[in-house]
Chains A and B, each alone.
Chain A
Amino acid sequence: EAQPSMMGGFFNQDTLQHRLQTLIEGAKESWTYAIFWNTSVDDVSGASLLGWGDGYYKGGDDKLSPPLPRRKTQSSAAEQAHRRKVLRELNSLISGVPNGGDGEDVVDAVDEEVTDTEWFFLVSMTQSFVNGSGLPGQAFFSSAPLWVAGGDRLASSSCERARQAQVFGLQTVVCIPLANGVVELGSTDMIFQSADLMNKVRILFNFSR
């Protein structure tokens, strides 16, 4: 039975976004983000690649809860200045207007603190995983979900992305392999394995079933 291309035909970015949003907003757990990593083959090397397909960022309690003692990993003033600069440049890139503004509201939004999880999500857009590397690659190549719950488990992972996730305040990262990619979910909460969630991902993202 033919599997449609995830990024082609009817499975375009709009439907992908809709599915990621449905997954997160409809979940009983509090997920911070969902990413779809799309599989492809590098034309030159022939290597298998998992690259950014699309993502939905909901956010966590890092902006909504009362101030907590700042984690040792919480960004410094210099790091915040860097993040804001990058965000301003990204706004320019998207809007096509120097300094990224279509009005004061955009400038104000850019000047708000860029949280650790927002930054982790943004950096994810530049990442890819070759031949089974990283949590998404491991999940895809083993055809088995990876569910890493707990800062300690993330921090001690052999995977750079998992360690990075812990540094940026995430407590749970899940990678669920599909025919043409991987759905990754992350949360600042500790969330234990749920068969319901994995079934929901497979129903939402496997069109041919």
Chain B
Amino acid sequence: PAAVPQARKASLARFLEKRKERITNA
């Protein structure tokens, strides 16, 4: 996590949110 710069946070947040949706809808 320390290697993830601030600029990547939006991408990361989106990935985690979509992952939660995929798992919830599976």
Contact = CB atoms under 8 A, between A and B. Distances in A.
- Size category of the binding interface on chain A: 20 to 34
A94 B20 contact: no
The binding surface of chain A is classed by DSSP as helix
A93 B12 CA distance: 10
A109 B18 CA distance: 10
B12 A94 contact: yes
Interface centre among B8, B10, B12 (most CB of A within 10 A): B8
Given A52-B7, A126-B3, A126-B4, A90 B23 contact: no
Given A121-B15, A122-B15, A93 B1 contact: yes
Interface of A: 13, 17, 52, 54-55, 57, 59, 63, 86-87, 89-94, 105-106, 108-109, 112, 118, 121-122, 125-126
Interface of B: 1, 3-4, 7-16, 18-20, 22-24, 26
Q: Which 6 residue pairs of A and B lie closest in terms of their CB atoms, listed nearest first?
A: A109-B20, A89-B1, A126-B3, A94-B13, A125-B8, A109-B23
